[in-house]
Every structure is written in structure tokens, then in C-alpha cells.
């Protein structure tokens, strides 16, 4: 299935997770390119630049240096231009506070990252419905 040319943003400092996401998207035939930020501050800088194309979906880790995922979400809801971008937490954190705080800060979903690649790919299939919010490329 070919999706939009709009990017999917991954906010995650783990290189392996970035590679895994790109591989899974390719296998699921999702053509959106991935824009990566390694922390929340870098993501906010990208999203605040009017020259950058806004993503159709943000996948956000909680545990990152400089600015973690919850700090990113607190800043995101203050910015009218980016708070409407569907954001799904994709993290290893099973902490109940992290989960409840993320939902309080208006995330569309909270998914604990599986370690196994095939389970990770299945997880992406589950959140595939959010990618349908992306516009399809016009012929």
C-alpha cells in the first residue's frame, strides 16, 4: 500500500530502533520517508521550522537525553501547529506514570516496544490505522 509523501517522524535516540522501524515500514510497503530526531528538543526544532514538511505521524520514545518524551509532549500541546499531529508513544517504558501522563498530554496511543522484530512489525500493523490520516500521493 503506497502512502503519502509526508514523513513519519521518529523521536528516538536508539539507532537499532530507527533501523528496525525503517525495515518494518519497507516490509509493510509503507512508502513514507522517516524523519528522525534523537530527542524531544531536536524534534521541536524540526517541527518549528516552517521550511520543514510536517509529519503525518509522530512515533515518540519516552526515555531520551536532553528532552525526554513527556517533556516533548508538554511542549507539543502548547503549539497549535503541531499538537494536532497524531502522536503515538512507542517505548520500552511500562511505567504507569509515563503511560497516564502521556494520555493526559493527548497522545493517540501508547505502545510498549517489543524486543522481537516480528512482534515489532506486528505492532506497526496495529497502529497502521493512524497512517491512513496521511494524504495519498496524487497521480
This prediction has a pTM of 0.83
> Taking all residues of the chain, what is their mean pLDDT, rounded to a whole number?
82
Give the CATH number, domain containing residue 96. 3.40.50.2300
- Quick check: is 68 in a domain? yes
- Quick check: is 33 in a domain? yes
- Quick check: is 107 in a domain? yes
- Quick check: is 97 in a domain? yes
- Quick check: is 93 in a domain? yes
Q: Which of 5-19, 70-84, 106-120 has the lowest mean pLDDT?
A: 106-120
- Quick check: is 135 in a domain? no
Q: Provide the number of structural domains found in the chain.
A: 1
Q: Which domain holds residue 68?
A: 8-129
- Cβ–Cβ < 8 Å for 48, 72: no
DSSP E strands, 5-94: 8-11, 34-37, 57-60, 87-91
Tens of pLDDT, residue by residue over 56-102, are: 889 999 999 999 999 999 999 998 889 889 898 988 888 899 999 99
Interatomic CA distance for residues 139 and 130, integer angstroms: 22
Amino acid at each position: 500500500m503506497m502512502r503519502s509523501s509526508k514523513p513519519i517522524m521518529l523521536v528516538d535516540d536508539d539507532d537499532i530502533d530507527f533501523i528496525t522501524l525503517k525495515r518494518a515500514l519497507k516490509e509493510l510497503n509503507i512508502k513514507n520517508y522517516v524523519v528522525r530526531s534523537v530527542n524531544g528538543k531536536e524534534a521541536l526544532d524540526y517541527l518549528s521550522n516552517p521550511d520543514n514538511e510536517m509529519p503525518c505521524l509522530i512515533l515518540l520514545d519516552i526515555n531520551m537525553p536532553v528532552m525526554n518524551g513527556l517533556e516533548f509532549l508538554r511542549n507539543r500541546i502548547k503549539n497549535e501547529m503541531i499538537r494536532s499531529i497524531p502522536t503515538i508513544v512507542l517505548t520500552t517504558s511500562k511505567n504507569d506514570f509515563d503511560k497516564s501522563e502521556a494520555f493526559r498530554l493527548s497522545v493517540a496511543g501508547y505502545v510498549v516496544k517489543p524486543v522481537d522484530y516480528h512482534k515489532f512489525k506486528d505492532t506497526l500493523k496495529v497502529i497502521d490505522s493512524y497512517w491512513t490520516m496521511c494524504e495519498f500521493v496524487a497521480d
